[in-house]
Structure formats: C-alpha cells, structure tokens
C-alpha cells in the first residue's frame, strides 16, 4: 500500500490533482491518497467551488496559510507542512504545477528524505522574472520523479542535467479533468445567464503581476480591449489580485467605460469551461488556459512575451501576442476574420489517461 499526500494550494492545482486522487481511490489495494490544502488560495470562488465542481474530496489537512509576500507565503507553507509529513510518514508526496505551495512542499520533503513526485515537470518560459519559473526550476531539481506533459519538457530537463530515469512522459493531466467534465459543463446555463447564448463573444483572463501590477502594461492591454470590444462582447472573470490592482492603479473608470467589457466574479471550473468551450476567442495570460483552448480547438491569444507551453503554439490554437496594443488588435482581427492558422493537432498523450499513467509509474517505481 502506497500512502500518497497530494498537495493543492492555488486555483490551477485543483484540476490537476482531482483526476489523480480519483484514480487512486479506484485502486484501493495499492493507494491510500490524502489531500493537503495549503490554503494559498482561500476565497470560495478561488478554492471551495473547485472542490465541488471536480468532486475533489475535502482536504484531510488544511494549512490555512493565506496570502503574503513570496517569502512569507513560502515559509508559512513549509513550517506548517513539515509536521504533517512527519506525522503521516507518506510513501510519496505529489506536487503539481508551479505555484509557491509546489516548491515549498517539495523542499520540506527532500530535506526529510521523503520521495517527491512533480506533475507538470519540465516546462520552461526562460523568463526568470516570473515567480513560477523559479518554482518550476527548483522543484524539478529536487523531485525524485518528474512527470512531463510534452517532449519539450523532457528535453528541458535533460539539458539541465536531470538523469533520464527520473523523467516520465505521461501527457497532460489537466486534459483528464477537461474530458471528464466537458459534457456536464456544456449543459450548464452559464451562457444563457450572461446573455451570451448564440452570440459571438470573447473570454478574457488576466492576473500575471507583469500585466496587472504595472500601469503601463495594463494600459496597453486596455487600449487593445477598447478596440476589440467594439467588435464583440468580452467577458472578463476578474481574479482578486486584478480587482485590487484596477482600484489601486486608478483604472476603475477606464475599465468601466469600455461598454462591451463585462467584468464578473471569478468563475468555478465548470462555468468557466462552459464559456471557454463556446468562445469565439480567448485572451489570457494564464498557463493552463493556453492548454485547455488547444484541447478545445478554440483560438487563444496569450498576452505575454513568452510561454512555457510551446506545444500549444506549435500544434494547437495558441498565439503569443505580448502586450503591445497594435499586435493584440492585429492578432484578434486575424482570428475574428478567419485568417489565423487553422491546422490543429492534439499534442501526444493529451488523451484523458494521464492520471492512470502517473499511478502506474508510482506503483512500479523502484
């Protein structure tokens, strides 16, 4: 029997851990899964609703760390996670993605000689000003088993000197959640409730500090949104960080004056999938949404200068447009006019069976 602590902390973790825990529950002779929530995200809309939507069991332990500077948040997770692993003595600790909770828990375990597996290993933007890039680099250096979503990730790890035997190419676990929930999500009334049924609309998410904490970049993006919104409504579920900076930067009036830009509260997993799966266009600075739009075949414009997920550009629907106003408008027009690229392939092993491959690897690890 393998006792596995599955760590979740922030919104993009839940849809990665849910299918893994569900698969472990179906192999009760082999796996005893526990869920530890660090509490990095704590608002109902950023956390609780995802447990409900994804059928993720309530956490066995909640560390309640909340927000803080990177150092404060990372340190608080480490301090509170250490006694949990000392008490539980797991065979494996499984961490996912690239948030502060990911590196904090991995670091605690490696110092205690506990085995750590990292899901979504090897992704690199090569932009070390992104906190996530530091979290990814460090977690991959110390984890025992590295589960990669694409071959570019394998190559990144090899180039960093990680031995091949620590790397397992398993595919993208987020697509397990997407495939499982797509039908249910599509049947919801989210679009009707927002008056979007049967009309073209764009969907926008923004939360990267480099976009929303800096007035210049936020204003460049807003200037583009003013033009795009004259062609079709833009629905904008607003991350709490972004809501705060709109007010702090004094941008509330400008944002509210964009007639067709509809600010709404952050959405749960299923409601968001309902909107993304029928959008004419998605504009985002998220990592996961670049992948989901590729899986759904929906055009995506990434409002960043780089991506750690190049396969979504090479094979999927993603275009990296940065934050230059003219470039965003041009890319949106190309997409809306139908002149953007059309050939789309599903990346290898984005097939809904990644969690099973992760369990097989854990079970047969020697």
CA distance 25 to 39: 23
Give the three-class secondary structure for 203: strand
Instruction: Select the span of 5-13, 142-150, 295-303, 334-342 touching ligand UD1 (CB under 6 A).
Output: 5-13
Least distance CB 172 / ligand UD1 (angstroms): 16
Is 268 near ligand UD1 (CB under 6 A)? no
Is 340 near ligand UD1 (CB under 6 A)? no
Residue 301, Cα to own-chain centre: how many angstroms?
16
Least distance CB 207 / ligand UD1 (angstroms): 5
Nearer to ligand UD1, 42 or 169 (CB): 42
Q: Which of 37, 41, 118, 207 is catalytic?
A: 207
Copy the structure tokens of residue 125. Answer: 């933007």
The closest alpha carbon to 63, from 25, 105, 21, 4, belongs to: 105
Integer CA distances (angstroms), 79 to 64, 82, 149, 263, in order: 12, 6, 30, 37
Count of residues touching ligand UD1 (by CB under 6 A)? 19
Helix axes 173-187, 288-296, angle to 10 degrees: 60
Least distance CB 143 / ligand UD1 (angstroms): 17
Q: What is the 8-class DSSP label of residue 202?
A: E
Which of the residues 61 through 80 are near ligand UD1 (CB under 6 A)? 67
Residues forming a β-bridge with 116:
93
Binding track, positions 85-124, relative to ligand UD1; x by CB under 6 A: -------------xxx------------------------
Strands 92-96 and 167-169, bridge-based pairing = unpaired
Which of the residues 236 through 255 are near ligand UD1 (CB under 6 A)? 239-241, 244
Counting Cα atoms < 13 Å in the Cβ hemisphere of 246 gives 16
| 207 classed as catalytic | yes
Integer CA distances (angstroms), 223 to 226, 302, 329, in order: 5, 16, 9
Instruction: Select the span of 39-47, 273-281, 300-308, 315-323 touching ligand UD1 (CB under 6 A).
Output: 39-47
> Of these, 43, 160, 200, 314, which contacts ligand UD1 (CB under 6 A)?
43
Residues tagged active-site: 207
The footprint of ligand UD1 (CB under 6 A) covers 10-12, 40-43, 46, 67, 98-100, 131-132, 207, 239-241, 244
């Amino acid at each position: 029997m393998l006792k596995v602590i599955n760590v979740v902390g922030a919104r993009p973790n839940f849809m990665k851990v849910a299918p893994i825990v569900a698969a472990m529950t179906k192999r009760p002779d082999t796996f005893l899964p526990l869920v530890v929530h660090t509490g990095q995200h704590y608002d109902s809309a950023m956390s609780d609703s995802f447990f409900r939507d994804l059928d993720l069991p309530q956490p066995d332990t909640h560390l309640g760390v909340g927000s803080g500077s990177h150092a404060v948040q990372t340190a608080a997770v480490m301090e509170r996670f250490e006694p949990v692993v000392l008490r539980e003595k797991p065979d494996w600790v499984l961490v996912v993605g690239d948030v502060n909770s990911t590196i904090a828990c991995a670091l605690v375990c490696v110092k205690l000689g506990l085995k750590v597996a990292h899901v979504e290993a090897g992704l690199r933007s090569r932009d070390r000003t992104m906190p996530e890039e530091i979290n990814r680099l460090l977690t991959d250096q110390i984890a025992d088993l590295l589960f990669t979503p694409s071959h570019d990730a394998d190559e990144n790890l090899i180039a960093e000197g990680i031995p091949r035997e620590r790397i397992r190419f398993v595919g993208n676990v987020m697509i397990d959640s997407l495939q499982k929930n797509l039908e249910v999500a599509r049947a919801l009334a989210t679009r009707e409730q927002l008056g979007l049924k049967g009309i073209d609309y764009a969907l926008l998410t923004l939360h990267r500090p480099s976009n929303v904490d800096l007035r210049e970049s936020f204003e460049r993006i807003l200037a583009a949104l003013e033009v795009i919104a004259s062609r079709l409504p833009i629905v904008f579920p607003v991350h709490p960080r972004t809501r705060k900076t709109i007010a702090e930067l004094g941008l509330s009036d400008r944002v509210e004056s964009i007639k067709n830009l509809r600010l709404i509260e952050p959405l749960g997993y299923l409601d968001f999938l309902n909107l993304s799966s029928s959008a004419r266009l998605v504009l985002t600075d998220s990592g996961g949404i670049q992948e989901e739009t590729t899986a759904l075949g929906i055009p995506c414009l990434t409002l960043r200068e780089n991506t750690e997920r190049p396969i979504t550009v090479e094979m999927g629907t993603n275009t990296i447009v940065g934050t230059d106003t003219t470039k965003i408008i041009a890319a949106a027009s190309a997409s809306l006019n139908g002149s953007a690229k059309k050939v789309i392939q599903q990346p290898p092993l984005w097939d809904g069976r990644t969690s099973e491959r992760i369990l097989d690897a854990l079970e047969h690890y020697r």
